[in-house]
Amino acid sequence: MVAAKPLKPNEAKELPSASLGPGTVARRLQAEDEKEEEAELFRQLPESYSLAHRLRRHGWSTLRYLMQTEVHTYAFSVAAYSILSLFPFIVLMLTVVRRVFHSPAMYNVVLELLRDYLPSNKDFVIRNLQFLASVKGRGQVLSLVMLLITSTGIFLPLEVALNNVWGFKKNRSYLMNLLVSLGLALGCGCLAMLSIALTAQNLKMLGLVIGDQNVVFRGLGFIVMKASAIMATIGIYFLIYWILPHGKVPVRAVLPAAIITGLVSEAAKYAYILALPWLNFQEVYGPFAVSVTLIFWSFCSGMLLLGGAYLSAAEHADRVRARRETAGAKLGNQ
């Protein structure tokens, strides 16, 4: 009589569940098998990929998207209207801070953030904006009217672009887009004002602790203002990605894109500043170099915004497709 060959420990898990009976060991082995199968299925979801793998996966398709002619048209439209709305927005911010909040600290924070945002000719632009904000009259009212008009010019092409990215076939009517644009402009303004107030308060507390007339305060103050500006930028990108498309967009899909785009735009700004001497707009455009510098940077910002939107939509499409395939595979195994 030949003795049966003993089973290895890992071979016992491959026995049919019926041969083991309803005992505790059988239930435990079945649970382990199901857990391993589920882990193997979900290991292929996009969330399990590293950031580098996901960027490689969609990097080339994003670059191809940014090379399309209509994307450049949207970005140039956003750039032109951004310049038209930037100066009225700053004038209104300085006016509100000075005449409503009566806060010199917030006023200085606005100037420092503006100085950090502008790629060139900072003193010239800031000096003229301060003059416009200090003059009492119709300038502030006209700034508000221009901001209401130009905000629609910014968000209307952005809505069309984001709808194309997400596959939404229908755009809002002009009136609805106007209302959404005004709401987004108000939300961005409130977000910027909150960021300025928090920065001013943090700088005040920092000055009380270590004093405000030393190198340490200036260094820490710069870090505080920079962190505040980046957070406000990320918040603005998030509002645009989430609210502006004419359809339901998941928060989970656009929040990472807003964070990445905000950080990349901050790094790209410094790269643009370093490249300005080689671009030499002053020699080509003369007295109009300031406007050209700002328009070109606004165009780059618009391209980054649209690239982030495309990347978030591509990631979300992969996630939905992978979950459907995983659910189908689980049903097939059952």
pLDDT at residue 129, rounded to an integer? 85
Q: What distance in Å separates the CA atoms of residue 90 and residue 117, rounded to the nearest whole number?
A: 12
Q: How many CB atoms lie under 10 A from the CB of residue 193?
A: 18
Q: What distance in Å separates the CA atoms of residue 71 and residue 313, rounded to the nearest whole number?
A: 15
Radius of gyration of the chain (CA): 27
Number of residues that make up the chain: 334
pLDDT at residue 50, rounded to an integer? 54
Specify the amino acid at residue 277.
P
Q: What distance in Å separates the CA atoms of residue 97 and residue 61, rounded to the nearest whole number?
A: 44
pLDDT at residue 32, rounded to an integer? 53
Percent helix / strand / coil, the chain, rounded to 5: 85, 0, 15
Q: What distance in Å separates the CA atoms of residue 226 and residue 234, rounded to the nearest whole number?
A: 12
What's the gap between Cα 184 and its chain centre?
A: 14
Mean pLDDT by 10 residues, the chain (334 residues): 48 44 46 50 47 66 89 91 87 87 87 83 84 76 82 88 90 87 88 86 82 78 86 92 91 90 91 87 83 89 92 83 66 59
Q: pTM for the full model? A: 0.77
Q: What distance in Å separates the CA atoms of residue 10 and residue 87, rounded to the nearest whole number?
A: 71
pLDDT at residue 144, rounded to an integer? 82
Structure tokens at 56: 């490689």
Closest listed residue to residue 307, CA positions, set 68, 81, 85, 79: 68
pLDDT at residue 14, rounded to an integer? 45
pLDDT at residue 281, rounded to an integer? 86
Structure tokens at 307: 């690239």
